[in-house]
Amino acid sequence: MLTMNKFHFIFDKTKKSQKVKKVLLKIYKNYTPSRASFIIVAGGDGFMLSNLKKHYKFNKPFYGINCGTFGFLMNKLKIKDFEKKILQSRKTIINPLSLIAIDKKNIKRKILAINEVSLFRQSRQTTALNLKIGKKNIIKRLIGDGVLVSTPAGSTAYNLSVSGPILNINSGKLAVTPISPFRPRRWKGKTISNNSIIKIKNLDCRKRPVAAAADNIEVRNIKLVKIKSNKKLKITLLFDRNKSLIKKIKSEKLKRDN
């Protein structure tokens, strides 16, 4: 098929993704990411998150084809109008979170998170965490299963399942949400500016070990984490015009409110 547009295709190993691969690669050439105009990811949300992190440096827009279950970051496949749908799609710019994690051996790791950073207990013992926003102590000692910091794009994922707020994509906000809090029991979390720097300290590394996860990347035995929105990094996601990320988030908000 003759086309001026160049696509780089990435397919998951699932049966559905491999079926899509056979169809699309009969029609389109698979260019390298550096030469492509668009990066096309066929899989589920987790597969998309992994590839956003792997390929964001190419500074190309991402279009997802849902071959998973929910597919919040993805679009439905229509072979007939495939190229037209991509060209007419709506752009959504997202800023990921930057996580700096320091473990109990003082080893430092830097990781990106598109949806959220979560801290959770890695033993039968509850966590004991200190939360700071900037220089302000917002919770001196949070006892529970953990806490997470979510972007607007991730606010309908893990954040929503632990009763966190749904954030509008252009809100300029982050959600800080406790996971099964025991003390203070009534603390429901906090919505903060995405200019904020969040510091979370494990108050008892020996007795109460804590793991941190940036989407699907986990670091164990955490002593301290620093989380902030990476304003310098802009990732472009493409959505079909009638199913934009803004509309998907509004739809989830209506479901929750009803």
- The CATH number covering residue 199 comes to 2.60.200.30
Task: Let me know whether 60 and 121 are in one domain.
Answer: no
Better-predicted residue by pLDDT, 93 or 68: 93
Q: What is the pLDDT of residue 71?
A: 83
Q: Are residues 80 and 156 in the same domain?
A: no
Q: Is residue 45 part of a domain?
A: yes
Helices assigned H by DSSP within the chain: 15-27, 45-55, 82-87, 158-161, 245-257
**Contacts from 36-39 at CB under 8 Å and sequence distance 24+?**
36/6, 36/7, 36/8, 36/60, 37/5, 37/6, 37/7, 38/5, 38/6, 38/7, 38/8, 38/62, 38/63, 38/86, 38/238, 39/7, 39/8, 39/10, 39/63
Domain that holds residue 26: 7-94+234-257
Q: Are residues 115 and 86 in the same domain?
A: no
At residue 32, the pLDDT reads: 97
Are 171 and 252 contained in the same domain?
no
User: Is 45 one of the catalytic residues?
Assistant: yes
Domain count, the chain: 2
Same domain, 176 and 201: yes
Q: Is the dihedral of CA 212, 217, 116, 112 positive or negative?
A: positive
**pLDDT mean over 212-223:** 95
Q: Is residue 2 part of a domain?
A: no
The answer on 102 and 223 residing in a single domain is yes
Residue type, 165: P
CA pair distance 203, 8, nearest whole angstrom: 46
Does 1 reside within a domain?
A: no
Enter the tokens of residue 54.
């792997």
72 shares a domain with 37: yes
Same domain, 90 and 106: no
What is the pairing mode between strands 38-43 and 7-11?
Answer: parallel
Q: Express each pLDDT in 118-177 by its tens digit.
A: 999 999 999 999 999 999 999 999 999 999 999 999 999 999 999 999 999 889 999 999
Q: Are residue 121 and residue 241 in the same domain, yes or no?
A: no
User: Would you say residue 252 has pLDDT above 80?
Assistant: no
Altogether, the residues listed in the chain come to a count of 258
Q: Are residues 211 and 117 in the same domain?
A: yes
Half-sphere exposure of 184 (CA within 13 A, CB side): 11
Taking the C-alpha atoms of residue 37 and residue 41, their distance in angstroms, rounded to an integer, is 13
- Whether residue 151 is contained in a domain is answered as yes
Query: From the candidates 45, 103, 215, 240, which is the catalytic residue?
Result: 45
Do 47 and 20 sit in the same domain of this protein? Answer: yes
33 and 85 both lie in a single domain: yes
- Counting residues of the chain whose pLDDT is more than 70, the rounded percentage is 98
| CATH number, domain with residue 22 | 3.40.50.10330
User: How high is the mean pLDDT of the chain?
Assistant: 93
